[in-house]
Amino acid sequence: MLTPEDEKPHLPPPSLWPLGFAVGIACLLAGLVVSLPAAAVGAALAVVFGFLWIRDVTRGSMTPAPHVEPETRAAQPPVGAQPATVGESAFPRMEEEEIAAYPRSTFLSAATLGLGAAIGGVITVPVLGFTILPSFLNQPEADVDLGPLEEFPEGRFVIATYLEHPEQGEVSRRTVFVRNNGFLENQPSFTILFSRCVHLGCPVQPNGPVDDDAERIIEREDGTEGVRLIPAQPSGFGCPCHGGQYDTEGNVTAGPPVRALDRAEFSIRDGHLYVGSLYSVSEVEGTGARARIKKYGLAVPGVHVDGPSAWLYPIEVPR
């Protein structure tokens, strides 16, 4: 006969594995935004704890239930009849190990969960791919022709505005402050400051006269919008949003910015000045062609690139 213990419904034992699984999923989602290594750690935690959780839940169903034959009286076979368990035509006897150890209800539950997980994956993975993956891809930066060298007089700043990718429209518009520093050891030198404030990304403005009447447009050969060049005589640069101030080398002189203005690489081809990839600068020592620049990879606004404060940003934020 079944005992009261045997009649109790099977319930999964209390476990901490669901908590670990939830932590793994949280790390995975956070890692997709912050860093791929962190996402990999979260995925590993989710897989390990998920496996342990499933093992605990199904452990009871995998253990054969106690099989107790009810009290019965042996049936008396008819006179002259042969018992069903005797002879060549006897029914096979079911051994104990042949008793179903995995109930149908458990199989259906597992199949339902698996199908739901598959459908969720099919729906979720493409969405995450389209929304998050582009943040981790290197965004191409094309060299842009700013015009002939004659458009950049030595010792003067010129405000250059252009579309880095004309096919993308206004979202690719950039403004840089270009100064011709003359020559250093027979090599031309240019200072090219990016107009994005390194506090929160507002557009920086020149502190000084800007000759809008002398604006020139350098036409592109492909017929798209050309480069706009405006002469200026700034004594520095200022951010109208939060009061950040920079000198003519891009160093911070006042306000909340955490580093010097970002700069752009340049090259000269066939007498034209080309602006290249952007990079971040912690500070600049000296001026003009003899300036010593502490160069780093391009970082987003508000992020320190050197010193103890940079330890707070060990993982590069996608941009």
Q: What pLDDT is stored for residue 316 in this prediction?
A: 56
CATH superfamily name and code, 144-312:
Rieske [2Fe-2S] iron-sulphur domain (2.102.10.10)
What does the block give as tokens for 162?
């252009």
DSSP 94: P
Distance of alpha carbon 120 from alpha carbon 22, whole angstroms = 16
Continuous segment of H or E residues that includes residue 282: strand 272-285
Domain ranges of the chain: 4-101, 144-312
DSSP E strands: which ranges in 81-222? 144-148, 157-163, 173-184, 187-194, 205-206, 216-218
Q: What pLDDT is stored for residue 16 in this prediction?
A: 74
Q: What pLDDT is stored for residue 101 in this prediction?
A: 57
Question: What contacts 74, CB < 8 A, 6 or more positions away?
Answer: none
- What is the SS3 assignment for 279? strand
Q: What pLDDT is stored for residue 189 in this prediction?
A: 92
Long-range contacts (CB closer than 8 Å, 24 or more residues apart) made by 169-176? 175/203, 176/264, 176/275
Q: What pLDDT is stored for residue 46 in this prediction?
A: 85
Using an 8 Å Cβ cutoff, are 16 and 51 in contact? Answer: no
Q: What pLDDT is stored for residue 263 in this prediction?
A: 94
Q: What pLDDT is stored for residue 26 in this prediction?
A: 84
Q: What pLDDT is stored for residue 117 in this prediction?
A: 79
Using 50 as the pLDDT threshold, list the residues of the chain that sit under it. Answer: 2, 98, 318
Q: What pLDDT is stored for residue 90 in this prediction?
A: 56
Distance of alpha carbon 75 from alpha carbon 57, whole angstroms = 42
Distance of alpha carbon 146 from alpha carbon 266, whole angstroms = 10
Using an 8 Å Cβ cutoff, are 226 and 156 in contact? Answer: no
Using an 8 Å Cβ cutoff, are 41 and 31 in contact? Answer: yes
What are the CA-CA distances from residue 171 to residues 91, 92, 306 (Å)?
81, 79, 30
